[in-house]
Structure 1
Amino acid sequence: MPAEDLSKRQAIKKGGSTLVFKEQGGVPGNECLTFRNNGEIVNAACVNTAADRQITPSTQGGNNVLLVQRSFTAGFRPDLVNKQACVGFNGTAFRAEDCASKNVEFVAQSGNQLIASGGACLNGHDNKAQVTVSAQGQGCAEFTTTSVKATAP
Structure 2
Amino acid sequence: MKFAAILFTSLAAFASVSAAPQQKKAPKGKEGGGGGAAGSVVKGSDTLTFFEVGGIPGNECLTFRNNGDMVNAACVDTAADRQMTPSKNAAGDDVLLLQRSFAAGFRPDLVGVQACLGLTDGTFKAIDCASSDPMVSLKGTQLFAGKACHSGHNGKAEVTVDATGAKCVDVKTKKVKAAAPIE
TM-score (norm 2): 0.78
In 2, the alpha carbon distance for the partners of 1:6 and 1:35 equals: 22
Q: Report the CA distance shift for 1:133/1:82 in structure 2 as closer, same or farther (over 3 A).
A: same
The residue aligned with 2:76 is: 47
In the other structure, the counterpart of 2:164 is: 136
**Structure 2: 5+ residue runs without aligned partners?**
1-31
Asked which structure has the greater CA Rg, the reply is: 2
Partner of residue 8, structure 1: 37
Greater helix fraction, Structure 1 or Structure 2: 2
5 Å-filtered alignment, 1:53-92, equals: 53-60=82-89, 61-92=91-122
Q: CA deviation at 1:23?
A: 0.4
Q: Which runs of 4+ in 1 moved over 3 A?
A: none
Query: Is the 1:57–1:65 contact (alpha carbons within 8 Å) kept by the matching residues of 2?
Result: yes
Report how far residue 9 of structure 1 moved: 6.3
- Over the aligned positions, Cα root-mean-square deviation in angstroms equals 1.4
Higher strand share: 1
- Write the letter of the residue equivalent to 2:102: F
TM-score by length of structure 1 reads 0.93
Matches within 5 A, 1:97-116: 97-102=127-132, 104-116=133-145
Q: Which runs of 5+ in 1 are unaligned?
A: none
- How many residues are treated as equivalent by the alignment? 149
Q: After superposition, what is the alpha-carbon deviation per residue over 1:9-67, rounded to whole angstroms, capped at 9, x for unaligned?
A: 67111111000000001000000000100000000000000000000000012100000
Aligned partner of 2:142: which letter? Answer: Q
Name the counterpart of 2:57.
28
CA distance in 2, matches of 1:126, 1:91: 16
